[in-house]
Each structure stands twice: as C-alpha cells, then as structure tokens.
Structure 1
Amino acid sequence: MTLVQLEYIVAVDTYKSFVQAAEKCHITQPTLSMQIQKLEDNLGVQLFDRSHQPVTTTEIGQEIVMQARIVLAESYKIKEAINDRNKELAGELKIGIIPTVSPYILPKIISRFMEKYPQVKLLIWEQNTEQIIQQVKLGMIDCGILSTPLQDAALIELPVFYENFVGYVSKASKLFKKKHIAADEIDMDELWLLNEGHCMRNQVLNLCQRRKNNRSAQQFEYNTGSIETLKRMVDQNNGATILPELALADLTDKQLEKVRHFKEPEPAREISIVVARNYLKRRMIEAMKNEITELVPKRLKTKKRKDILSI
C-alpha cells in the first residue's frame, strides 16, 4: 500500500469516475486502474463497483477511503512543517465562497493578498453553501467562506465578522415612511428573495418567521441568485428586499434613501472561514482570515447587540 494508491482511490471516490480521477491525478486511466486493482488485490476487498455509472464506492470501500483521507492529510502535514520552517507561504489555496459575500470582500482582498504572499496561488470558486460544505469535506477545496453557524460536527468554523441585515424598500412600500423597521412589519407579498440554495434566503425567511409568501397570485415568479438583481427589482418594480450591510458601500445617495435599519437587536449573519477537522494549510488560511479582518469595518468585528440568524 502506497500514498499514491491512496490518492488514487480518494480521487475516484471524489469524482465517481476513473477517467476524471486520472485527469485530476495527471496520469493515464489505465495506470490509475492498475494501481487501484493492485491495492484491492493486496487488501483482498473490492473498493469500487465498476458496473455502475457513475462509479460507486462499496461499503468497505467507503471505510477505507475515509481512512485514506486521514492518512493523506497527516502525510501532507510533513510538507507543512517544512514550509513553516522556511517561514514562507507557498502553494495553492483553494477557496469556495458564497455569492452574497464575494462581491464585497474579494475585489479588495485579492490584490493585497497576492502582493503580500507572492508564492501563494489563489483558486476561488463562487458556490452555494451546500456545494462548499461538500467540497470542504471531500478535500476538493481547502476552506469555505460562508455564513455560519452550520452545526456540522465534521467542520470547524473560524468566525471572521458579523454583518447586519438592512431593509431596502421602494418609495411605494409602507416601510419607506419608517425610520427603523421590525421583522413583523415586513409584507412577504412585496419581498424579493434569493432563490433556493442560498443560505441568505433561509436567514431572511427565519427573520420573517417563515410567513407564507402569496406571490404565486401574481403574474410571475422570479428566481435570482444575485443581490444586485434584488436591488434593481426594488428600484424598478417597487417592493422591498433585505441586504447585507457590506452591500451598502456600492449604493448611490439616491439608493441610500431607501435603506432602513432594523430596530435593536439588529438581525445579522456570522461570516466564517470553514474548514475540515483535519484541515491543512493552516498558515495560509490564517493569513486569509487576517486579511479579511483587516478589511472589514471595526463595528463588524463584534457580535455585540446583534441577533445572529441561523441558516
């Protein structure tokens, strides 16, 4: 049994395909298949059911792959120890980030991070929470930047900042005349929401106590994954929506007139860097956390007087 063979079975389990696993491992498919067959012969068990497409991992194979992930993670720590001795951050950092956070922090962070750590290559994907969690657990990415708490024992959450939610209302909305608003004053029939799969949608529904939305009686149902689109829908079609506080930086003076803060305690979300329990690249991830912390306003660094919404 070799570490290379363990890498191959983890790749097949991750991508559910011998061909794709071989591509990711930068070898030919016959070579990968031969090495996995050798490992199966050595262990005396079948790790994968090759008769299914996509390939499925057998019951005993799942147990072995789980242990293989642990062994590989521990072996990679040897390289990390060497890098720590060299005191220079180097290598790839793969990050998943939710789309309701990325526009407001990534453009400002990337250039600073790359200038400070020129030997680190950032690979970033914008995905929803469920996709990020799955890929962190599978080791396909090193960390995720998303809203927490997740209440998942397989993950570690490293809180970075706490961001208030605010109302964004049209002049036609009854909320426009109010200086501060409360959750129970929101009319769900006029509220524009993100589509399914976005954690912020769930948080907004939790804020509004999941009251039934009767928009089905209207002429259309609109689904979007963009906060920018929600703002435009309010600007051009009236109604209201909920925005994260960092989105206010991009508003014009005219748009800022439509912002309404909530009464205390203001509803907020916790944004964390999420990693697997046996996570690697700790210095890189800590460096990214520090860069984000330095970027956000001081008031976002504490959850005092905030009502943190669950997903």
Structure 2
Amino acid sequence: MSISLKQMRYALAVEQHKHFGRAALSSFVTQPALSQQITLLEDQLGFAIFERMGKSVIPTPQGKPFLDEVKTIVGQSKALEERFTKKQHQMPMRLSMALIPTIAPYLLPSLLPGLSSKFAPVQFSVSEQTTEQLVDAVKKGDCDFGILATDPGDDRLFSLPLFADPFVLAVAPKTSLTSPIDLAVLDREHMLLLSDGHCLRDQTMDACQLGNDLKHKTFAATSLSTIVELVANEQGMTLLPAISLKREAIGGRVKTLSLKQPGAGRTVSMIWRKSSPLQDLFNQIAAVTTNVGKQLLAEDAGLLIK
C-alpha cells in the first residue's frame, strides 16, 4: 500500500498540534480514525514517526526528516490543486481550433485578438480545413472545436449556431443589374461556383434554389478570391457570403447586390465534442465569436448596393 496524501496531512497536523486529539479536531476526523492512519503510516515506513509521551507527542529522530519531506510534498499538492481548480477559462491551456476556408480569412483577423484578450491564459492554435476534415478532427480529438457552416449530423458533437451569414450576388462593376435581384431571371451559365468539396458550393445551390443544372459546370474555382477576380473582369457572376465583402469587394472591384429570395444564406456554427469537460469555456468562446461575426457583418453591410 502506498502512502496517501491524507496520511501525510494527518502526520503534519499531529506535528503542528503535538496532540492527537487536537490534530483530529483540526482535520475534521475522529481521534481513533486519525490515530489508525498514523499507525498504518508508521507500519508502512517501518519506523515510528512520533514519540508518544502521555498526552503529548514529538517527532522521533527518524520522523523529523520524513516530516520535512512531507511538508514539501503536501505544499506542492496544495499549489497544484489551487492552480487547476480555478475557473476553466483562467487555466493556462492550449486549445486547437479549425475553420473552413470560406470563413477563416474573413473571421480570424478580428476573432483571434478578441479571443486572446478575453481568454488571456489560453493559447489558440488555428488550422484551416474542409468541413469533412474539420468534423473528423473534432470527433477524433485532434481538434478541440471548429467553426463551420454545415450541420455535422453527428450525435457525438454539439453544434451551436453563432450568426446568420446571408448571400449576395457579385457582378462586374459596370453591370446594370440592381438590388434586390431575383436569381431566377439570371443567366445561370455565367454563374461561377467553388469546386466540389466546398460546402459553400452546395449551400449556394440549395439556399438559392439554383437546381441541378449547375452541378456539372466545367469550371469551378478553389477559392472565393479567384472567383471574385474573374467576376471583376466580366467573366461571370457569383454568390458571396456577406462576411467576405470587406475583403473580397473592397475598392469596388465588384458590384454586390442583395437577393430577392428571403433567407438565402448560411448559418455559421461552432462545434465541439459533447464529452468535453470544457462546455462552459466553449460557450464563452462562442459568445465572443458571435459578437465578432455580427460586427463584421454590420461593417460589410456598407459595401452592399441597396
């Protein structure tokens, strides 16, 4: 049987009070219970820690160096306990987060400073992953939480909606189209989409009811920035999430129009494992992310042609 912290604490109480009864009282146990633990401890060590002198006790020559070591161990244990029983967001820790490519470049520049300010002891490591990769990483524990725009559809994961991100139509600056635009009247052959594997491709088709006629388009870009460059050079049109406008529509290189279709857009959400012990911390991170996202959307609204 190994020596327990409880036994060590009892021994220090006896040394401090020089009396088993007062030591038991200070330790909130009965005297017989404390005496039994001290006796067991001495049996394990093979020597007497205390010299019993009637009602008083003093450390033995072998007991003194043992108690000195015990003081160090108990002190370290107390320091460790105090350090890691603080509120979770105050603990020094490293959290890994992942975002999908159509959110990361627009949200991260404002989000990371906000998180670092709010959760100073936490170090955030960031990666950019596709939706499929992100969900898999969170499930496996390779990532602590993720920010995406698709329901993961897994009962092992908790998904918390953060903010709505509406779609807008991006067209060449000289186009005569005006807001709100009805997607049903557009020439769909000129609609530019992201390549397969990007959830935004499917979301724009579903939310805007673009139908199956666009699913097999021969051209598909791997980034929104590539598509916007083509739109700016009058090579087509595309649907952009509103959160991207501050970066993608800067300088008026494209004209952005609101959509006539109500509710066309996506919902940005944060996911984490239901089994994680950091539920409260994740909810606080989600609240910060929601505020940052809504502020960015408010700023981007000024870039939208009414």
Task: Tell whether the structures are fold-level matches, with TM greater than 0.5.
Answer: yes
Q: Which sits farther off after the overlay, 204-213 or 235-244?
A: 204-213
2:212 equivalent in structure 1: 211
**Counterpart of 2:92?**
90
CA distance in 2, matches of 1:122, 1:152: 25
C-alpha distance in structure 2 between counterparts of 1:103 and 1:87, whole Å = 26
CA-CA distance at 1:102 after TM superposition: 0.9
User: Between Structure 1 and Structure 2, whose CA radius of gyration is higher?
Assistant: 2
1:187 counterpart residue number: 187
The residue type equivalent to 2:240 in the other structure is L
Mean CA deviation greater in 268-277 or 108-117:
108-117
Match of 1:39 in 2: none
Between the aligned partners of 1:86 and 1:281, the Cα distance in structure 2 is 7
CA drift at 1:253:
4.7
Q: Using the TM superposition, give the Cα deviation of residue 234 of structure 1 relative to its aligned residue in structure 2, in angstroms.
A: 0.5
Q: CA deviation at 1:84?
A: 4.3
Say if 1:106 and 1:87 are closer, same or farther in 2 by CA, change over 3 A.
Answer: closer
Of 242, 246, 254, the residue aligned with 2:243 is: 246
Shift, 1:104, TM fit: 1.3
Q: Say which SS state the counterpart of residue 194 (structure 1) adopts.
A: coil
Q: 1:299 to 1:276 in 2, by over 3 A?
A: same
Contact in 1 for aligned 2:170/2:238 (Cα 8 Å): yes
Distance 2:233 2:181 in 1: 22
Q: How many pairs does the alignment contain?
A: 215
TM-score, structure 1 as length reference: 0.62
Return the letter of the residue paired with 2:199: C
* Within-5 A mapping of 1:222-301: 222-250=219-247, 251-255=249-253, 258-297=255-294
- The offset of 1:115, in angstroms, is 3.0
Residue identity opposite 1:268 in structure 2: G
SS of equivalent residue, structure 2 residue 155:
coil
CA distance in 1, matches of 2:251, 2:144: 39
Per-residue CA distance 1:78-128 (angstroms, 9 max, x = gap): x9x944447614211111100111111111121232233232111111011
Deviation at 1:196, TM superposition (A): 1.0
Residue 184 of structure 1 aligns with an amino acid whose one-letter code is: A
Matched letter for residue 201 of structure 2: R
Which ranges of structure 1 fall in alignment gaps of 5 or more residues? 1-78, 302-311
User: Contact 1:186/1:208 (CA < 8 Å) preserved in 2?
Assistant: no
Q: For residue 277 of structure 1, what is the amino acid of its counterpart?
A: K
Q: Give the ranges of 4+ consecutive aligned residues of structure 1 lying more than 6 Å apart after TM superposition.
A: 298-301
**What residue identity is the alignment partner of 1:194?**
L
**Are 1:93 and 1:284, in contact at CA under 8 Å, matched by a contact in 2?**
no
Aligned residue identity for 1:287: Q
Task: Give the distance between the partners of 1:114 and 1:299, measured in 2 at CA.
Answer: 18
CA change 1:209–1:149 in 2 (3 A) is: same
1:236-283 per-residue CA deviation (whole Å, 9 max, x = no partner) reads 242100100011223235236x11111151302111101122123224
In structure 2, the CA distance between the partners of 1:180 and 1:85, relative to structure 1 (3 Å rule), is: closer
- Give the RMSD, CA atoms, in angstroms: 2.7
Note the residue ranges of structure 2 that are not aligned, 5 or more in a row.
Answer: 1-80, 299-306
Instruction: Give deviations 1:128-153, integer Å, cap 9, x for gaps.
Output: 10001111111111111001333332
Contact 2:173 / 2:232 at 8 angstroms: preserved in 1?
Answer: no
CA distance in 2, matches of 1:136, 1:86: 20
Q: CA deviation at 1:299?
A: 10
**What is the distance in 2 between the residues matched to 1:180 and 1:102?**
28
Percent identity (aligned): 26
Aligned to 1:68: none
For residues 194 and 154 of structure 1, what CA distance do their matches in structure 2 show? 29
Amino acid at match of 1:252: I
